[in-house]
Structure 1
Amino acid sequence: MAGAAFIAATATAAVIVAPLPAAFATPSANAVISEAYGGGGNSGATLTNDFVELANRSTAAFPLDGYSLQYLPASASAGSLWQVTPLTGSLPAGGDYLVSEAAGTGGTTALPTADASGSIAMAAGSGTVALVKGTTALTCKTVADCTGDADVVDLLGYGTAVVREGTAAPTASNTTSVSRAASLADTDDNSADFTAGTPTPTNSAGDTASGGSGGGTGGPTAPGPFRIHDIQGTTRISPLKGQSVVGVPGIVTAVRTTGSKGYWIQDPNPDSDPATSEGLFVYTGSATPTVSVGDSVLVSGKVSEYYPSSTAQSVTELGSPVSTTLSTGNALPDPVALNDSTIPDAYTPTNNGGSIEGLTLQPTVYSQDFYESIEGMRASVTDARVTGPTNSYGEMFVTAKPGENPTKRGGTIYGGYDQQNTGRIEIVSADGTTPVLNVGDELSGTTTGPVDYSDYGGYLLAPTAATTGTAVDNGLKQEVTRRQKGDELALATYNVENLDPTDSDDKFARLAKGIVTNLSKPDIVTLEEIQDDNGATDDGTVSSEATLKKFTDAIVAAGGPRYSWRYVNPVNDQDGGEPGGNIRQVFLFNPQRVSFVDRASTGDASTTAVSVVKDRKGAAHLSASPGRIDPTSTAWNSSRKPLVGEFRFQGRTVFVIANHFNSKGGDQPMHGRYQEPTRSSETQRKLQAEEENAFVDSLLDADPKAQIVALGDLNDYEFSDAVKTLTDNGDVLTDLITTLPAAERYSYVYDGNSQTLDHILTSPSITHYDYDVVHINSEFADQASDHDPQVVRIDVKDCGFKGHK
């Protein structure tokens, strides 16, 4: 709560420069009168209106519909009547409720927006106010009658008031009100419970006449009834959600000056419950916070839960804040160390796919519960290895568990739905100073910041430049694969991330270098995310000739061969991806090494399904080359259709399938509030896998020794149902990523997890191959694409070598 509802204020009261006071016990009563002022608009007054303020000492809202605020003159005559102001709404738990009364002719400052308004002209020096259950005017005019009335919830007589509890409260004036002590004690003696001081009207939103918001000043000078751990509670949702609180004590531990601004406070006097956090974010919106790290503050505002998205967990916040600085330069609470001994190995509780928000936190059992139990508190990682490179938003991932599923290049491998890697923690600077680092680099020393949460990545630390460890560049290099031998056919796949002619020459040059230098000029390259000739402009253009001309020119400029290309135009706006972009898969091939068998479709190639046919000699061929697998099937709705082509290399036929399955958009996040998360997009990918598996079966039925390479961005993991369906659990196609050691199975880095989305699959007749994922993008802050390419070199005559790289 803000304002004088919980303070004993005087016109000359001094702010004590000292650490936070010790915790106060929560009072047992609920609604009370906390302040009364009858000098509004009088001579010398600053405020324009009289007012009465109510306060709630309980942890539950107090309904006021049907209640009233009533006033009786100090010395009531036989003809004096109680004046009535009806009340509505509710008195928030631990909050204020402001009743505005009559205005005078003077004053310069309006009250904050009142929760209820009346027209009672209260006397400045003396009078009686009552909180009444009911709206019928009281008839009592003596202490005995009024205190004995069961409808009188609370009674305040000030000055020379005849009707009062015990002895009357002090006399007020045009410039002073009477307000209840900080403890909100109700001893049934007004003189013991109230003191005179400067009026501080506060409404249920925590607004004051001084206009406090966005971290403004003008708040209380003594703690209210609630501590941070009361606000945070033992679940993910605050038990005080939606309620206003006053005078919450804490030390400012960090200030966020970018994006949604605000600051974190932490109580240096924690409770004994490990499930209740002692930290809290104070949200100031667009207003730059006026507090500084080390300030001891009392903050009032409204408790809310901020959801970054519809499936994310929430962040408990204090909004519309008003603060009072008690002292500066205080020591900060020690940070919670994040390491193997503090972070549990289990990831999160489950609730049959439902929300886990209402579950009591188990911070010693689940890592996500542990992070939630320290939400807003200072935490630190030491000598943290980077597992996800810094992105354009200044976000990176590190691991607090260096031994947890490491890759050879410094990342953390994601090897299964039950292997979420609990040591991953996002780093997002609170002041925009996140260093630019690659996977395998390090934040040496200690990095400290409050624990926050975002939709991207989940729980995070928000350090500043002063609390971020030293950035250490460990020199990660792009990989370069070897050149294929003369009798090896090299096939690669590369997602070039929405490439169109409007992209920069630098992007084209870097992607071309990847083909020429890093992939060593493969014979065939399947490209994903080639856009049409004007990119995202949605004007019906579907051709990608200009895109491919610019790309192949860049490859030649980089020292590569003059590649030829084949593709099938998508139907406009039917294949998903960036609206208007019309992405598709494309075959690039080096005509000096390999030839493409062109065979026209009998219908519109965009919508006619390719099939397998046998010639008069019994050899299997495609009905169209290039062609598309069942493009009108609902499995491919708003998604890319597989491109199939027939190639010849040294007298042998190789069938190539270029893939880009539907994206993971719409899946619930691993770190979200629904557990286990629903992976809704996998349903369509499994249908797509069934379609392609059936096509591969038809090829193998026609020729059991057919050499088939299916490759591309499947948008799913090697352990997923979709990929297992496509390969028929390895019986029909071999997913080459599974032939690598577990720590090398990745082509993409997301949320600090190194994982596999891109695949090369081979038919049973391909037994001699050399396979390589070429890491040139996903681990680096500076990327030409967000995917790593990969290549397989096969001996179509089975005269090469067995094994893989």
Structure 2
Amino acid sequence: MTRISARTLALALAGATAASLAVVPQATAAPSNTLPVINEVYGGGGNNGSVYSNDFIELYNPTATAVSLDGWSVSYYSSSGNLGGTTTLSGSIAPGSYYLIQQSAGANATGALPTPDATGTLTMSGTNGAVELKNGSGEVVDLIGFGSANKFEGAATAATSNPVSAQRITAGVDTDNNFVDFQVATPTPTASGTTQNPEDPEDPEDPVVPGTITPIAEIQGTGAETPLAGQLVTTEGVVTAVYAEGGFNGYYLQTAGTGTAEKTAGQASDGIFVYVGSNGSYPAVGDSLTVTGTAAEYYGMTQLSGTTFAPAAAPLAPVTPLALDTVPAGDDIREAYEGMLLQPTGAHTVTNNYGLNTYGEIALAPGTEPLYQATDVVAPGQAAIDYEAANAAKEITLDDGRSGNYTRGDKTIPMPWIVQDGGSTVKAIRAGDQVDFQAPVIFDSRYDLWKFQPTTPVTGNATAAQLPITWEDSRATELASIDAVAGEYHIASFNVLNYFTSLGMNEEGCEAYTDINGTPVTANNCDVRGAYTAEALADQQSKIVDAINRLDVDVLGLEEIENTATVTGDITRRDEALNTLVDALNAAAGTERWAAVESPTQLGTDEDYIRVAFIYDKTTVKPVGESRIFDDPAFTGTARQPLAQEFQPLDETKESFVGVVNHFKSKGSVANGDADTGDGQGNNANIRVAQAQALIDHLENQDDWASKPVFILGDTNSYSKEASMTTLYGAGFSNIAEQFNAGQSYQFDGRIGSLDHALGNAEAMDNVVDAEVWDINADESIAFEYSRRLNNTTDVFAADPFRSSDHDPIKVGFNLESVDAPVVPGDDSDDSDDEDNATGSSPSRTVWAVIAAILAAIGFALPFLKF
């Protein structure tokens, strides 16, 4: 059938509502139908969901004679008015005929256009912009602005999307008002020689009756998309939220008197977003309105575009914020609440605050716990896939009612939530914190995420009372938790976030990430991976030093510390960054407490720019012999070689113990073709299994450590149930954090889990008494990291331990047994069995250790004995 004509309705609506539009005439062409006009514009070509592979512009000649187009041109402008290019035309357009101008293709081959009459290279927006037609003298003959364009005739028509174009309601009819003349509908590209519009099988067979009120629920429909896409509709309701600044450029409207009953899957929502555009006027929250616009879907959200509004004939019944414990999981039921005003009453827990400092987003999990990484809870494979699907169905993102980025275009506006009162108040909101809703919010869907929106935009200028949520600052409780870890001795690992003392500013060609003033902060695109300037290093170091000194352990394994030998090519400088950190720790402690474990004589093959290392409290322990690098092909060129060291308490009546610090291959870039299989383990799962096995093999070859407590520490880049971890478990090592319910060490993509681990062999587990993951980093917003200092106008940096890294340290508390003197043959004076048993020591184990040592000295080994 031919395109639906709604010109009469459009003219009536324009007369009734023109006062609410910002009218900016841009073209001088008279609506006399004496010249060709722009008939259709499509910018979604080749995009996801597009109908055709190419953008196009279609002209129509409404006159009775052919018109030469030689020297004529069409130009595309962005929504802000910037020229995007021009296509020069030639030939002629017959009377009552079309002229099709093919433009650039997108990435997807979704359909070929009819043979075009001209071809250009314009790349047009699929949503907002303007197209101008000029004659051979350079005079503007016609103009269409769509969406948020600031160039248009009369008023811009509705925004388009990938499956729809802006097209004249009646071919060739031009009133010099885009809003009146155009509609948004399925594209109908037509080339020369055609005298009528082709049939459009996707046009609605039952269009909305002009002049009637269409309820919001009918516009929303019961499915994922509006059943009235592309139709001009009029509806009415009460304004529940207004976003006049920040980029949303619209408001929410809800059917009068609704909000008193919960919805079920398959029902239609009573709320809808009304897009105003950058040049529109806004109502106030609580206003009763009649609104006219084109129904459309925008990134998963039903909205009205190209809208006008007027007060309702009489005040409408108010909307009640619907009280819900939380919005139930699942897209079907959530569609029933899209655009409605809700009052969440149940517990919600922060599960992701990574986007807080950029887009003002905080992901929430209904209930009292965050969402967990699937493979930290269940085995990889279908169980993990199902677990994550359930996670995704539950998550809701608390947004700020704005689309700006607080580290870029909006960087002079204080970021929300953690900054309040214009910057005078800074209050952390951490993963695991529970929030309560003190005000109602809009429930919507933007960019495929279900979200809570405040009813007006929120920035760091808001007071606590103006926020929709309240929460308790949990930092003080976390600081105190680490002091309560029991045990005579303590061991831990700590990822020091690319601690480099070689600075980016001193490396030739090194670029920098900068703050809002253009001041370099961190190195970019060079071998140096840490601070760019001495000032930035001082910031980074102040946090790391405070964290390590507060951690208060006897032995500390480090990951991501600079390997200065690789950076400089000078092997004698391998410990340079490590020693600098030790000096800073001692200076802050006010005593010579810390010392570094020196690099061994035998180093690793092809070592990385970062390495692992050990430091220790020399007032309580000392190294025994040289440290050992487990050099192995499993690590060469893909990860950092493990470092092992035996430590002896200064109280030499106590047995010694062994620490091995690790940093396995990450889940990021693919190495040796070991790509993600979709089982939940990410990239390089097989490589990490090989590295776990290599670690086991090397440990089994350290005969002098066979009977000692051994702690495996560090970042295995594997969650607790993944294959590399089960490989370690199978070799007799236990996950200490799991056994002591110590918590999780890492936050990624809104999921909490442990990539960092502390494991012990049987001898170690006999002695472990406590453990704690110290949540000072992973739960924190990245806004507090040294690398993000002054990314926004509010400086939230502090020289404290919070966000000193992106990984949390794990502190393990353990006791050590006393070492008995060797038993002299024939000497029956040793009557210590009862005393040893009373104090929990193991004399039989000590005797076997002595026997093993004697046999080893004369050339024998007892590989079958594991002490």
Deviation at 1:512, TM superposition (A): 1.9
Over residues 267-290 of structure 1, what are the superposed CA-to-partner deviations in whole Å (9 max), with x where a residue is unaligned? 6499997376676778899x5875
CA distance in 1, matches of 2:31, 2:63: 22
Residues 479 and 775 of structure 1 are in contact (CA less than 8 Å); yes or no, is this contact kept in structure 2? no
Any residues of structure 2 matched to 1:511-526 within 5 Å, and which?
A: 511-517=544-550, 519-520=551-552, 522-526=553-557
Does 2:806 align with 1:786?
yes
Residues 494 and 712 of structure 1 are in contact (CA less than 8 Å); yes or no, is this contact kept in structure 2? yes
Deviation at 1:760, TM superposition (A): 0.7
Give the corresponding residue for 1:556. 586
Give the corresponding residue for 2:201. none
Give the corresponding residue for 2:367. 402
Deviation at 1:470, TM superposition (A): 4.6
Deviation at 1:643, TM superposition (A): 2.0
Give the corresponding residue for 2:825. none
Deviation at 1:493, TM superposition (A): 0.9
Does 2:794 align with 1:777?
no
Deviation at 1:326, TM superposition (A): 3.6
Does 2:325 align with 1:339?
yes
Does 2:459 align with 1:445?
no
- Does the C-alpha gap of structure 1 residues 414 and 267 become closer, same or farther in structure 2, counting only changes over 3 Å? farther
Give the corresponding residue for 1:589. 616
Give the corresponding residue for 1:24. none
Does 2:424 align with 1:429?
no
**Aligned equivalent of 1:684, options 687, 703, 723:** 687
Residues 713 and 757 of structure 1 are in contact (CA less than 8 Å); yes or no, is this contact kept in structure 2? yes
Give the corresponding residue for 2:468. 469
Deviation at 1:449, TM superposition (A): 3.1
- Does the C-alpha gap of structure 1 residues 244 and 733 become closer, same or farther in structure 2, counting only changes over 3 Å? same
Over residues 424-465 of structure 1, what are the superposed CA-to-partner deviations in whole Å (9 max), with x where a residue is unaligned? 43323124533442443534423513434569xx54323234
- Does the C-alpha gap of structure 1 residues 702 and 277 become closer, same or farther in structure 2, counting only changes over 3 Å? farther
Any residues of structure 2 matched to 1:668-707 within 5 Å, and which?
A: 679-699=682-702, 704-707=706-709
RMSD: 5.9
Give the corresponding residue for 1:352. none
Percent identity at matched positions?
19
CA distance in 1, matches of 2:492, 2:727: 23
Deviation at 1:727, TM superposition (A): 1.8
Deviation at 1:762, TM superposition (A): 0.8
Deviation at 1:106, TM superposition (A): 13
Residues 253 and 266 of structure 1 are in contact (CA less than 8 Å); yes or no, is this contact kept in structure 2? yes
Residues 363 and 398 of structure 2 are in contact (CA less than 8 Å); yes or no, is this contact kept in structure 1? yes
SS in 2 for 1:7: helix
Over residues 606-638 of structure 1, what are the superposed CA-to-partner deviations in whole Å (9 max), with x where a residue is unaligned? xxxxxxxxxxxxxxxxxxx331341x32x5643
Give the corresponding residue for 2:745. 747
- Does the C-alpha gap of structure 1 residues 273 and 706 become closer, same or farther in structure 2, counting only changes over 3 Å? closer
Give the corresponding residue for 2:266. 274
Give the corresponding residue for 1:724. 726
CA distance in 1, matches of 2:179, 2:549: 78
Does 2:181 align with 1:200?
yes
Deviation at 1:708, TM superposition (A): 1.2
**Aligned equivalent of 2:558, options 520, 524, 527:** 527
Larger mean CA deviation between 248-257 and 786-795 belongs to 248-257
Aligned pairs, how many?
590
CA distance in 2, matches of 1:392, 1:12: 42
CA distance in 1, matches of 2:131, 2:352: 55
The AA in structure 2 aligned to 1:507 is Q
CA distance in 1, matches of 2:179, 2:780: 60
Over residues 56-108 of structure 1, what are the superposed CA-to-partner deviations in whole Å (9 max), with x where a residue is unaligned? 9xx99899x9x99797979xxxxxxx944146559xxxx9xx99999899997
**Aligned equivalent of 2:540, options 507, 513, 522:** 507
Residues 47 and 109 of structure 1 are in contact (CA less than 8 Å); yes or no, is this contact kept in structure 2? no
**Aligned equivalent of 1:387, options 335, 350, 353:** 350
- Does the C-alpha gap of structure 1 residues 546 and 258 become closer, same or farther in structure 2, counting only changes over 3 Å? farther
Deviation at 1:795, TM superposition (A): 3.1
CA distance in 1, matches of 2:133, 2:737: 75
Any residues of structure 2 matched to 1:90-489 within 5 Å, and which?
A: 110-112=142-144, 200-201=181-182, 234=223, 246=232, 254=241, 261-263=248-250, 265=252, 268=255, 274=266, 291=282, 294=285, 297-300=291-294, 303=297, 305=299, 315-316=300-301, 322-327=306-311, 339=325, 342-344=327-329, 367=330, 370-371=333-334, 374=337, 377-382=340-345, 384-388=347-351, 390=353, 391-393=356-358, 395=360, 397=362, 399=364, 401-403=366-368, 415-416=377-378, 417=384, 418=387, 423-431=394-402, 433-435=416-418, 436=427, 437-438=429-430, 439-440=432-433, 442-452=435-445, 459-463=450-454, 464-465=457-458, 468-477=467-476, 478-482=479-483, 488-489=488-489
Residues 692 and 727 of structure 2 are in contact (CA less than 8 Å); yes or no, is this contact kept in structure 1? yes
Q: When the two structures are superposed, what TM-score results if normalisation uses the length of structure 1? A: 0.58
Deviation at 1:711, TM superposition (A): 0.5
Any residues of structure 2 matched to 1:491-640 within 5 Å, and which?
A: 491-501=491-501, 502=531, 503-517=536-550, 519-520=551-552, 522-532=553-563, 545-559=575-589, 561-566=592-597, 575=608, 582-599=609-626, 625-630=627-632, 632-633=633-634, 637-640=637-640
Give the corresponding residue for 2:754. 756
- Does the C-alpha gap of structure 1 residues 292 and 688 become closer, same or farther in structure 2, counting only changes over 3 Å? farther
- Does the C-alpha gap of structure 1 residues 403 and 204 become closer, same or farther in structure 2, counting only changes over 3 Å? closer
CA distance in 1, matches of 2:617, 2:179: 86
Give ranges in structure 1 of 5+ residues lacking alignment. 19-39, 75-81, 115-153, 159-171, 180-196, 207-219, 306-314, 345-366, 576-581, 600-624, 668-673
Any residues of structure 2 matched to 1:791-802 within 5 Å, and which?
A: 791-797=811-817
- Does the C-alpha gap of structure 1 residues 736 and 11 become closer, same or farther in structure 2, counting only changes over 3 Å? closer
- Does the C-alpha gap of structure 1 residues 377 and 770 become closer, same or farther in structure 2, counting only changes over 3 Å? same
CA distance in 1, matches of 2:436, 2:63: 68
Residues 380 and 447 of structure 1 are in contact (CA less than 8 Å); yes or no, is this contact kept in structure 2? yes
Residues 232 and 277 of structure 1 are in contact (CA less than 8 Å); yes or no, is this contact kept in structure 2? yes
Larger mean CA deviation between 767-776 and 552-561 belongs to 552-561
CA distance in 2, matches of 1:687, 1:338: 49
Over residues 479-507 of structure 1, what are the superposed CA-to-partner deviations in whole Å (9 max), with x where a residue is unaligned? 3434999x944211111222233344343
Greater percentage in helix:
2
Deviation at 1:155, TM superposition (A): 14
Does 2:97 align with 1:85?
yes
CA distance in 1, matches of 2:234, 2:607: 55
- Does the C-alpha gap of structure 1 residues 297 and 386 become closer, same or farther in structure 2, counting only changes over 3 Å? same
- Does the C-alpha gap of structure 1 residues 284 and 715 become closer, same or farther in structure 2, counting only changes over 3 Å? farther
CA distance in 1, matches of 2:365, 2:746: 21
Give ranges in structure 2 of 5+ residues lacking alignment. 21-26, 43-48, 66-93, 101-112, 115-126, 147-167, 188-208, 379-383, 403-414, 419-426, 502-530, 671-676, 785-802, 819-835, 842-867
- Does the C-alpha gap of structure 1 residues 244 and 483 become closer, same or farther in structure 2, counting only changes over 3 Å? closer
Residues 453 and 459 of structure 1 are in contact (CA less than 8 Å); yes or no, is this contact kept in structure 2? yes
Give the corresponding residue for 1:645. 645
- Does the C-alpha gap of structure 1 residues 548 and 331 become closer, same or farther in structure 2, counting only changes over 3 Å? farther
Residues 612 and 661 of structure 2 are in contact (CA less than 8 Å); yes or no, is this contact kept in structure 1? yes
CA distance in 2, matches of 1:383, 1:765: 46
SS in 1 for 2:358: coil
Deviation at 1:9, TM superposition (A): 1.4
- Does the C-alpha gap of structure 1 residues 495 and 755 become closer, same or farther in structure 2, counting only changes over 3 Å? same
Residues 376 and 719 of structure 2 are in contact (CA less than 8 Å); yes or no, is this contact kept in structure 1? no
Residues 498 and 562 of structure 2 are in contact (CA less than 8 Å); yes or no, is this contact kept in structure 1? yes
